[in-house]
């Protein structure tokens, strides 16, 4: 069974631009969560989608948004990029609430 995949793996953007990251969960998994990882803040929860509905949201500004499609694939969008948005963005999927989470390899975003 294929694991969680994320595209692109690396991205360099300029301040003020916007970016879209993509995540394909493990087949059969309906829940997709997004996390931001930085050296200073560690791993922080962004949001979770289940069956195309946002089920939970972390403490991030409205510039961070996401969506989930009917095939459970998910996208995350960050508008008006800031230098502080440079991070490793990780996507995780699971069957449902309380089940084991499986992470993708991440997208390394660098904002210059």
Partner 1 sequence: KQEVTQIPAALSVPEGENLVLNCSFTDSAIYNLQWFRQDPGKGLTSLLLIQSSQREQTSGRLNASLDKSSGRSTLYIAASQPGDSATYLCAVFYGGATNKLIFGTGTLLAVQP
Q: Does 12 bind partner 1 (CB under 8 A)?
A: no
What is the footprint of partner 1 within residues 72-101 (CB under 8 A)? Answer: 88, 90, 92, 97-98, 100-101
Q: Report the first-to-last Cα separation within the chain, whole angstroms.
A: 37
Tokens of 47: 């949001």
Q: Return the DSSP state at 42.
A: E
Contact 46, 35 (CB under 8 A): yes
Tokens of 110: 């660098």
Which residue, 7 or 80, is less far from partner 1 as judged by CB?
A: 7
- From the list 2, 55, 57, 13, the residue with the least C-alpha distance to 35 is 57
Which residue, 67 or 108, is less far from partner 1 as judged by CB?
A: 108
Looking at 22-30, 37-45, 66-74, 77-85, which segment touches partner 1 (CB under 8 A)? 37-45
Instruction: Kindly state the smallest distance separating residue 89's Cβ from partner 1, in Å.
Output: 10
The correct pick among 43, 61, 96, 110 for binding partner 1 (CB under 8 A) is 43
Tokens of 30: 């309906």
The residues binding partner 1 (CB under 8 A) are 4, 6, 33, 35, 42-43, 45, 48, 55-56, 58, 88, 90, 92, 97-98, 100-106, 108
């Amino acid at each position: 069974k294929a694991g969680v995949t994320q595209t692109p793996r690396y991205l360099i953007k300029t301040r003020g631009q916007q970016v879209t990251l993509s995540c394909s969960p493990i087949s059969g998994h309906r829940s997709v969560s997004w996390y931001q990882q930085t050296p200073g803040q560690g791993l922080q929860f962004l949001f979770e989608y289940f069956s195309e509905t946002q089920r939970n949201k972390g403490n991030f500004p409205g510039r961070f948004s996401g969506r989930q499609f009917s095939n459970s694939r998910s996208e995350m969008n960050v508008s008006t990029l800031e230098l502080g948005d440079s991070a490793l963005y990780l996507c995780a999927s699971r069957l449902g609430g309380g089940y084991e989470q499986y992470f993708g390899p991440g997208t390394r975003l660098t904002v210059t």
